[in-house]
Amino acid sequence: MAALVRDTEVHKALYVDQQVFELEMEHLFANTWVYVGHASQIPNKGDYYTTTVGTQPVVMVRHTDDSVQVLYNRCPHKGVKVAGEGCGNTGKFFRCPYHAWTFKTDGSLLSMPLRKGYDNTGFEHCEAQHGMAKVGAVREYREFVFCRLNPQGESFEDYFGESLSTIDNMVDRSPVGKLEVAGGVLRYMHNCNWKMLVDNQTDTCHPMVAHESSAGTAVKVWNEAPAGTPKPMAVELFAPFVSPYEFFEKMGIRVWQNGHGHTGVSDSIHAEYSPAPGYWEQMVEAYGETRAKEILGDVRHNTVYWPNIMVKGPVQTLRLFKPIAANRTLVESWTFRLVGAPDLLLERTLMYNRLINAPTSVVGHDDLEMYERAQEGLHARGRDWVNVARLFDEAERDQRNAVTNGTNEWQMRNQFRAWLKYMTASMPEATK
Amino acid sequence: MSSFSAQQLIDFVYAEARMLDEQRFEEWLDLFTDDGHYWMPLMPGQTDPRLQCSLLYEDKLLLRVRIERLGGQRTFSQQPRSRCHHLLQAPTIESADAARGVWTLRTAFHYVETRLDQQNLFVGWCTHDLVAVNGALRIQTKRVDLVNCDAAFGNINLFM
């Protein structure tokens, strides 16, 4: 494993090798704190939502004591996924649709038909008697639910450190300090490795090149509009993508520990959106002017929470990169309503999501074309490494919570160091 | 106020699909009213394009961006270009108000989009809200409801 990650290069096997992918699912996605869902998706007792952590099927459910539980979605009897796809309310218990075994919403076995047939069979020694298995650990942070599949490992606080400030900022943008999942989720299938998407989130040197076709054309069409035409919201969202290198250099990148980091420290492409009438007054009322200014002045661009989500505080979106195979990834783009804030902000959030993250998005098309070309190109012989050397400095290895030039590939290197750390944390010495 | 026969309304829908298949996009865009929209909902039965997400909800400016981008020199995702084919069931006139000059037609379709060796089939219904503008039919809203609108898709590059 260690041989695959160098200071400034990573081996192509990280992207194309299915065996490496299987190891990622077994180790990396079990040792890290992975995003599951948002508590607003399951407000009432018995509400559930099914998803995957890595490739593991799980169900997030509101238990009778109001806690959020994350269970492997697998009947201990014959292996059937107990909770149906999507979301719903299961009442006080889950009932497997195959043989009617039932489970409390914390997973424990409640009943099974023909119970007597298990007398004197040693059933009490079978794993099935413990019901649906819980994941290793669950933690809800300001309603964002994360889990670690492995029971042992790094604590939530040590894992995320100061990076949680991006979630704080997104939640604080609501005058009542609350978010709700809203608007529907965009689902976009990518024939590429999940890490290509993660790498791209802090890749500030591609927008002016790859998105010249989409954002660049939007600017061109807008420039042809008659003078005096009010600038449409869509142009406001598109245009900053084709800002020059200098803009991205200056906006900065903050690099935290364990693969987390964000672009847009002092400025970002989300800084200049038109104000929503009434919103500023609501924020001042809720927080006071100084604090309101601080919250809204923090215009972070993309925050990567390693391994597989990206959060945009000022736009209230969360993208989840769900790994399916070495060369296949489902991208889910979720949107949030700032509870108590004007509807116009949700409208903008949804327009942003549609314009940038949909399978019909021209910006999405630009990116996916590059990912898929890379997925195929990486198979080429003669070059085995992917390069992440820009602005490398040996001193960076020991630093955490550092701010640097916005075109530094430090954050990508940070991700690969985290990749190695969590891949090997639970491996026997010889395979590290 | 202009009046249109049932056949003229139906022919308009066929002609519109043919423009797309033949990639006559400039002509196609001219079919829309100045405040017209092309809408692909994300959810079955969706009624709100503003506070519910859609796959597409585009005015003429955004449609123009899309069309100009398709032919751009640095539009790498369209090199080579996509092609498409519409197969329409006979449109039905759902409502007609000649006095106000507004008509709604519904058309079931199979739509195929291809690029390189990949061929994708999309199936659904189109709803055309048509209006008379200076004696000609124009599209106020073209709504495209895919039967699996909430499924995970790869790229959808052209117009249904």
Cβ separation of B53 and A353 shorter than 8 Å?
Answer: yes
Q: Is the pLDDT of residue B14 over 70?
A: yes
Closest Cα in chain B to A335? B53
Q: Is the pLDDT of residue A313 over 90?
A: yes
Average pLDDT taken over every residue of chain B = 97
Q: Which residues of A11-21 are buried (b: 16+ CB within 10 A; e: fewer)?
A: bbbbbbbeebb
Is residue A206 a contact partner of residue A215, using CB atoms and an 8 Å limit?
no
Summarised one tens digit per residue, pLDDT across range A190-213 is 999 999 999 999 999 999 999 999
Task: State the nearest Cα–Cα gap between B1 and chain A, in angstroms.
Answer: 30
Look at residue A432 in the predicted model and tell me its pLDDT.
Answer: 80
Average pLDDT of the residues in A164-178: 98
Summarised one tens digit per residue, pLDDT across range A257-308 is 999 999 999 999 999 999 999 999 999 999 999 999 999 999 999 999 999 9
Residues of chain A positioned with their CB less than 8 A from the CB of B76: 210, 213, 366, 369-370
Is residue A215 a contact partner of residue A363, using CB atoms and an 8 Å limit?
yes
Summarised one tens digit per residue, pLDDT across range B33-52 is 999 999 999 999 999 999 99
In chain A, positions 147-186, which contact chain B (CB-CB < 8 Å)? 182-186
Is residue B116 a contact partner of residue A191, using CB atoms and an 8 Å limit?
no
Give residue for tokens 């829908």. Answer: B13
DSSP codes joined into one string, B71-123: T-TT-GGGSSPPEEEEEEPPPEEEEEETTTTEEEEEEEEEEEEEETTEEEEEE
Residues of chain B positioned with their CB less than 8 A from the CB of A188: 152-154
At A430, the pLDDT band (50, 70, 90 cuts) reads confident
Helix A194-201 crosses helix A362-377 at what angle (to 10 degrees)?
120
Considering only CA atoms, give the Rg of chain A. 23
Cα–Cα dist A237/A407, whole Å:
21
pTM for this entry: 0.97
Nearest by CB to B56, which of A212, A214, A360? A360
Look up residue A114 and give its two tokens. 């023909």
Look at residue B1 in the predicted model and tell me its pLDDT.
Answer: 52
Cα–Cα dist A132/A236, whole Å:
49
3-state DSSP call for residue A174? coil
Q: Report the Cα–Cα distance between both ends of chain B, in Å, rounded.
A: 30
What is the identity of the amino acid at A126? C
Identify from B155, B157, B159 which residue to disrupt to test chain A contact, counting A C-beta atoms within 10 A and taking the largest count.
B155
The Cα diameter of chain A in Å comes to: 86
